[in-house]
Amino acid sequence: MSNADYCVRHPTTETNLSCGRCGEAICPRCLVHAPVGVRCPDCAQVRPVPTYDVTGAYLARAIAVGAGLAIVGGAIVVFLTYLFLNAIVYMALIVALGYLVGEAISFATNRKRGRKLKIVAGGSMFVAITLATLFTGVTFSTMPLLASGVGFYMAVTRF
């Protein structure tokens, strides 16, 4: 006869492990390695690092700032490209817009980081570049397309 207990979360799993804090029986699937030993999920209180903890409010703020900048920035790129009739102006503006989108979203979310914010920044640049392309047609050549990629990269790598 064995002295093994059964896991609290998995009643059919026999185990000799227990939480270092509360003493509950835990199986290898449940255990969490903590700096002070093995803990159950309740006692470990695993939370994401605050820098990467993007709540719904921060995400909504990022989307609002990104969408606003995409529309306004795209319109400015179109206007200045028509004003100067130059692809070099378009390329410089798209790269600058990429930097601005990344910085603005980062500032609006209190310098948070993470995959969700990368997606928002990338989506914002996609909208801005699409608007600029639809109204100017400049992006259909090699160098402006490369500049669009650089702008997209600058926005996304901020996170």
The pTM of this model reads 0.73
Angle at 73 between CA 94 and CA 142, to 5 degrees: 25
Question: Where do the domains of the chain lie?
Answer: 5-44, 50-156
Tell me which residue of 39, 43, 23, 22 sits closest to 31, measured CA to CA.
39
Mean of all residue pLDDT scores within the chain: 90
Q: How do residues 51-90 score in pLDDT, each as one tens digit?
A: 998 999 999 999 999 999 999 999 999 999 888 888 888 8
Dist. CA 80–CA 55, nearest whole Å:
37
Is beta strand 14-15 parallel, antiparallel or unpaired with respect to 32-34?
unpaired
Dist. CA 56–CA 132, nearest whole Å:
30
Instruction: Give the HSE-up count for residue 88: Cα atoms under 13 Å, Cβ half-sphere.
Output: 0
Q: How do residues 105-133 score in pLDDT, each as one tens digit?
A: 999 999 999 999 999 999 999 999 999 88
pLDDT of residue 99: 97
Tell me which residue of 117, 101, 46, 116 sits closest to 68, measured CA to CA.
101
Which pLDDT band, with edges at 50, 70 and 90, does 1 fall under? very low
Which pLDDT band, with edges at 50, 70 and 90, does 44 fall under? confident
pLDDT greater at residue 113 or residue 37:
113
**To 10 degrees, the CA torsion angle through 74, 76, 77, 78?**
90
Element (H, E) at 32: strand 32-34
Q: Return the bridge partners of 38, or none.
A: 33
pLDDT of residue 87: 81
pLDDT of residue 36: 85
